[in-house]
Structure 1
């Protein structure tokens, strides 16, 4: 029997679960799992519904749901199962390596359609997986010119998401707006602590007892976008900066992979500068 996924975001009102359930039954769809949450601050209802059965007329089901729910409801029926992603890199290989290995063994949950880097250091490694690599240097260029080239190659592949796998460039508001809520970054710190480019050194100088990593959506505010996943590990006074970097890289891979799995499975909703995650 067919398995279906329905995503709903709308203004909250009394009886929404009953309305949705009745409409599913009318279309002979059996709800096998339903997760819902109300963001009371914004009076917004979110639901992720798994149901079995055959959707005979998807357009009709969509129309009936939108008519039954509050005005301007966002409803998605059976979003694309395998997402396409573009990966942006600079010099560090550990996050890219983890993504490409999972892609190779079909455990990523998405298809890596291209990789672009502002250095060519990771080109030969990427090519081993038969994935196109584009070297777009930022040197001797203005930011608008650099990003114009980057946008051109990205849009040729029409990715669903852009993953910043240790891409050490700050993106402009125009770039971020062009791919709104579609850019995912891994930051080597437990945000909001130690934003910017050298968090492990900052953490060492502060004498922290835990370090971590944060995967988040990118906004115009540096390292302050909606958080998807965070993890920490303990450290102590014996850790040098290099020890923190080594340990932190393992956390970064784990956090980024977990965040990508949640996003690719359509388990993440964005509300303001927060996320609703149905695990």
Structure 2
């Protein structure tokens, strides 16, 4: 049976759950799973409700929920459906290959509509796994024209998210604003440590004993967007920067894979510069 997701974010108050479930029952929707969270400091309520779909008028259901909830509530009522994504890359293959293999065997939870690279290096990998590859060089274009060229490629597809799978270019605020909370990046560091370029070299020089990776939504502040998922592994004094990078690639794949799973399953709520994640 098809599933319907009800996603709610609003000011907390007494009786919210009772009011929500009463409306769902009136629409003959059977609740399969319901997750709730209250940020007591901010007095903010979050809910993710999975229901058996029916012939419900989704617009009417959304309107009734909005009318019942506190002012300025954010309500989304959506059929559970596979997301559509584009992947932006430079030269590193490990995150892209993991995404493309999962896409090929239909375990990604999304469909990769295209890969866009600022080098040709990953074209063969993409096309071998039946995904269109678009080359957009950054070398002969201004930053503005480079981004316009990428957007023109993205506009060829109906997309839900853009994944930066080791896309080693800083994107502009204008680009970010066009795809607000729709761009997911994997950063090869346990943020907020070692922001920016060469984090493994930074970590080596600092003599750290753990390294990690962070998947986050992209904002105007470099590597400071809302965090979706993080993991770490232990290292020691015998690791040089190159060995740290090799170890880090495995954790980067794992962190990005988990983050995408959560986002594609509508389990991530963005609030300010933080996230609420229903795992």
Would the TM-score normalized by the shorter structure come out above 0.5?
A: yes
Deviation at 1:42, TM superposition (A): 3.6
Q: Secondary structure at the match of 2:247?
A: helix
Contact map agreement 2:90 2:119 (CA 8 A) in 1: yes
Contact map agreement 2:2 2:80 (CA 8 A) in 1: no
Q: Secondary structure at the match of 2:156?
A: helix
Aligned to 2:257: 257
Aligned to 1:241: 241
Gapped regions of structure 1 (runs ≥ 5): none
Deviation at 1:75, TM superposition (A): 1.6
Deviation at 1:178, TM superposition (A): 0.5
Contact map agreement 2:4 2:79 (CA 8 A) in 1: no
Paired residues, what number? Answer: 279
1:74 aligns with 2:95: no
Aligned to 2:63: 63
Q: TM-score, normalised by structure 2?
A: 0.96
Mapped partners of 2:2, 2:236: distance in 1: 52
Mapped partners of 2:60, 2:144: distance in 1: 44
Contact map agreement 1:28 1:53 (CA 8 A) in 2: no
Mapped partners of 1:59, 1:218: distance in 2: 30
Q: Secondary structure at the match of 2:149?
A: helix
Paired residues for 1:48-127 under 5 Å: 48-52=48-52, 54-127=54-127
Deviation at 1:265, TM superposition (A): 0.1
Aligned to 2:147: 147
Report which stretch shifted further, 219-228 or 55-64.
55-64
Gapped regions of structure 2 (runs ≥ 5): none
Report which stretch shifted further, 170-179 or 18-27.
18-27
1:137 aligns with 2:137: yes
Contact map agreement 1:161 1:182 (CA 8 A) in 2: yes
Deviations 1:157-215 (A, max 9, x none): 12100000000000000000010000000000000000111000111111100000000
1:273 aligns with 2:273: yes
Contact map agreement 1:4 1:51 (CA 8 A) in 2: yes
Deviation at 1:53, TM superposition (A): 5.3
Q: TM-score, normalised by structure 1?
A: 0.96
Paired residues for 1:5-24 under 5 Å: 5-24=5-24
